[in-house]
Amino acid sequence: MKTRIISAIIIVAIFIPLLIVGELPFAILMSILSIMGLYELLKVRESKKKFPVVLKVFAYALTVYFCLYNTSSLEFYKHVDYRVMAFIIFLFLSPMVFINDTKKYNLNDALFLIGSVLFIGFSFNLILIARNYDITYIIYLLLITTITDTFALFTGSLVGEHKLCPKISPKKTVEGLIGGVLMGTFVASAFYNTVINSNISLVLVIVLTFGLALVGQLGDLVFSSIKRYYDVKDFSEIIPGHGGILDRFDSLIFVTLAFTLLLGIL
């Protein structure tokens, strides 16, 4: 527990100042986190089979590209360059022919690389754009995830009896989910209505925030499912007591993706 607390303090001491400063320092941080996130995803996959080194180098480079793509814009609805998408598809599918050995590289490997680059790159890109759009929005999303996660753990440890998804996450309980989502909804809704927009219907804010809190827990379970499939406890041990970058950002990634879909309403 001591290690976990110390790590949390260090994370906050690094993340919060860069979040406040924004712009290039925060962009560099997101780039580093995207690289580390991709590293963790590829690492668990390579526990079963290694990727060609050259393709991994391209994957890291393209992930950073997507993370930083169009971040100077203050609009979430931005044009996606389909030429880059076509390049990625060609880049990771074509080697199947030249390697000509399905034991070394096959369609599953190619699709995993394509999906990983797009998923990690765009997810951290959206977090970065949310910060550039308005710092209060990223604070709102962080409140949803941190308060929900914290009180889900707290409530579950106190009164949790009914397992939520025992095969995916044995420690998660229905009681923990309810306690976390309710508290996350309350705190984040209060912040949104007080700081971001007091003119919008409070009922609407509560309903949408409640949905985002649930999505955050869904994200946690999705990433837990990945870990169970590859039989690993954490994605890495980069953060002592907490696991890896994806262990910490799983909920935020899903909440940010869902928030993007709600921008026309919130």
- Which residues does 66 contact at the CB level (< 8 Å), separation at least 6? 34, 117, 118, 121, 122, 125
pLDDT in tens, 210-242: 999 999 999 999 999 999 999 888 898 888 777
Locate 208 and state its tokens.
């949408």
**Are both 16 and 120 inside the same structural domain?**
yes
**Are both 202 and 124 inside the same structural domain?**
no
Q: 133, 156, 171 — which closes off a domain?
A: 133
Residue 245: pLDDT over 70: yes
**pLDDT band with cut points at 50, 70 and 90 for residue 76:** low
One-letter amino acid at 158 equals: L
**Are both 127 and 149 inside the same structural domain?**
no
**Are both 102 and 148 inside the same structural domain?**
no
Q: What is the DSSP letter of 52?
A: P
Residue 74: pLDDT over 70: no
- For 189-245, the DSSP string reads HHHIIIII-SSS-HHHHHHHHHHHHHHHHHHHHHHHHHHHHTT-SSS-SSBTTTB-H
CA separation (Å) from 8 to 46, 69, 222? 29, 29, 23
Would the pTM of this model clear 0.75, i.e. be above it? yes
Residues 44 and 209: their CA atoms lie apart, in Å, by 32
- Residues linked to residue 163 through DSSP beta bridges, in sequence order: 173
**Are both 142 and 123 inside the same structural domain?**
no
Residues 128 and 77: their CA atoms lie apart, in Å, by 14
**Are both 93 and 179 inside the same structural domain?**
no
**Are both 115 and 157 inside the same structural domain?**
no
pLDDT in tens, 77-107: 556 678 888 999 999 999 999 998 888 999 9
**Are both 179 and 53 inside the same structural domain?**
no
- CA atoms 11, 14, 16, 18: torsion sign: negative
Q: Do the Cβ atoms of 117 and 88 come closer than 8 Å?
A: yes
Q: 84, 112, 133 — which closes off a domain?
A: 133
**pLDDT band with cut points at 50, 70 and 90 for residue 134:** confident
If one counts the domains in the chain, the total is 2
Q: If you average pLDDT over every residue of the chain, what do you get?
A: 90
241: left (phi over 0), alpha (psi -120 to 50) or beta: left
